[in-house]
Amino acid sequence: MGMWASLDAMWEMPAEKRIFGAVLLFSWTVYLWETFLAQRQRRIYKTTTHVPLELGQIMDSETFEKSRLYQLDKSTFSFWSGLYSEIEGTLILLFGGIPYLWRLSGRFCGYAGFGPEYEITQSLVFLLLATLFSASTGLPWSLYNTFVIEEKHGFNQQTLGFFMKDAIKKFVVTQCILLPVSSLLLYIIKIGGDYFFIYAWLFTLVVSLVLVTIYADYIAPLFDKFTPLPEGKLKQEIEVMAKSIDFPLTKVYVVEGSKRSSHSNAYFYGFFKNKRIVLFDTLLEEYSVLNRDIQEESGMEPRSDGEGDSEEIKAKVKSKKQGCKNEEVLAVLGHELGHWKLGHTVKNIIISQMNSFLCFFLFAVLIGRKELFAAFGFYDSQPTLIGLLIIFQFIFSPYNEVLSFCLTVLSRRFEFQADAFAKKLGKAKDLYSALIKLNKDNLGFPVSDWLFSMWHYSHPPLLERLQALKSSKQD
């Protein structure tokens, strides 16, 4: 009876109070759901202390324990940073942080001689202050993650000076993109008339395509060093494989990821007939800085005759080595190129743009509702930027959660398909060993709670991928 009475009372509240209450309630519901899932997975980390039987051939007990402890530390960090983030967001909403920041932006504009009629200028100041606040509150967490957790488990390669310089550079580059794009978007919404949502969507489509095109050539090199892969057997084999599936490859780069972290990766980018492949140096066994360090520590210099090194040292170096052999790198690229050949990249772009159009259309429907603004403390004005923030971040949050889950399920399906494509190229055996090595190098924990992995994993669990590859490997 009491519950129904409280529900009745809620419906008797003004619309803005109901909206505000629903937003807060949903935010905490999602947080508690995520925490529940994380605790299920944490229980797996705590109780699975020995290598399960089915993993005996895949992972040695030392790597398994290192991986377990790494994931436990990450899980603890994730719990506290998630709790802080949820409390911070709640306090900002309860104490009117958004309208306060908007008024503060207005005061700064006033000092510079811009009145309330300069809404776009005020919006840019608001964005600058909001991103500055976000960067400042996120910095201690990022420092702890990098210099305590990643450092403890042997992944961090950064100095504090490099980290801070990198953070400042990221902030400046973000502002250089965010502020002009936002001002143009707000201007289009202002002058677009009844069909502004179509123009706004087209503008964001063009911006995203331009950013994808220029990112690797002009933005990424500001942070990492890209060098062409030297002529040799690996480059030749990559070019042959690309040609065999009609992938229009123009360049292959190696990025110096080891300067930042010993985690490894590979990707391709570019439109139409101008595709490039990027390999992290940590992915390549012969490039890995870690391997050179291990050789130096063991006093083992690479020799052309292979003599003079004890079998014990060779075994030790081999077990600690990071990265993949050339055949395994080709298998990983076979998987990545599978995403292109099977149209996964295009499908993701289409889904993203359909979603973007739908969101702008619904924004156009809702932007005139004054109670939405009133719910977040805007009683006298309805700034366009604040409307975008309220509708896209808060009102759409249930839809965003459902969409995110659906995209995670689709991503896992795409990963299996890309693995199957690599099989067809005759790379099953090498992809099998590459996945094991990459899991070891990145200290991935191969045992997962079914509900946690279903909700979070964009890639299928390691065992499932290996089982799918095994049949053809045996064939």
Element (H, E) at 266: strand 266-269
Tell me the C-alpha distance between 209 and 231, whole Å.
31
Q: Tell whether 464 is in a known binding site.
A: no
Tell me the C-alpha distance between 267 and 438, whole Å.
15
Question: Annotated catalytic residue: which of 150, 281, 419, 441?
Answer: 419
275-280 vs 249-255, strand pairing mode: parallel
Q: Which residues have a Cβ under 8 Å from the Cβ of 93 and sit 6 or more positions away?
A: 20, 23, 24, 376
Question: Annotated catalytic residue: which of 16, 281, 328, 336?
Answer: 336
Q: Per residue, what are the HEC states of 217-256?
A: HHHHHHCCCEEECCCCHHHHHHHHHHHHCCCCEEEEEEEC
Strands (E), 297-348: none
Q: Tell whether 335 is in a known binding site.
A: yes
Give the closest residue to 220 by CA, choosing from 254, 249, 247: 254
Is residue 305 annotated as a catalytic residue, yes or no? no
Q: Tell whether 153 is in a known binding site.
A: no
CA neighbours within 13 Å on the CB side: how many for 136?
Answer: 7
Tell me the C-alpha distance between 184 and 18, whole Å.
33
Q: What's the gap between Cα 271 and its chain centre?
A: 21
Burial class (CB in 10 A: 0-12, 13-18, 19+), 415: buried
Write 175-184 long-range contacts (CB < 8 A, 24+).
Answer: 175/128, 175/131, 177/211, 178/127, 178/131, 179/124, 179/127, 179/128, 181/207, 182/123, 182/124, 182/127, 182/385, 183/120, 183/123, 183/124
Question: In what side-by-side order are the strands of the sheet with 266-269?
Answer: 226-228, 249-255, 275-280, 266-269
Is residue 419 annotated as a catalytic residue, yes or no? yes
Element (H, E) at 126: helix 119-144
Q: Is the dihedral of CA 422, 426, 429, 433 positive or negative?
A: negative
Q: Which residues have a Cβ under 8 Å from the Cβ of 49 and sit 6 or more positions away?
A: 65, 68
Write 389-396 long-range contacts (CB < 8 A, 24+).
Answer: 389/98, 391/362, 391/363, 391/366, 391/367, 392/359, 392/363, 394/23, 395/19, 395/23, 395/366, 396/359, 396/362
Binding-site entries: 335, 339, 415
Which residues are tagged catalytic? 336, 419
Binding-site entries for Zn(2+): 335, 339, 415
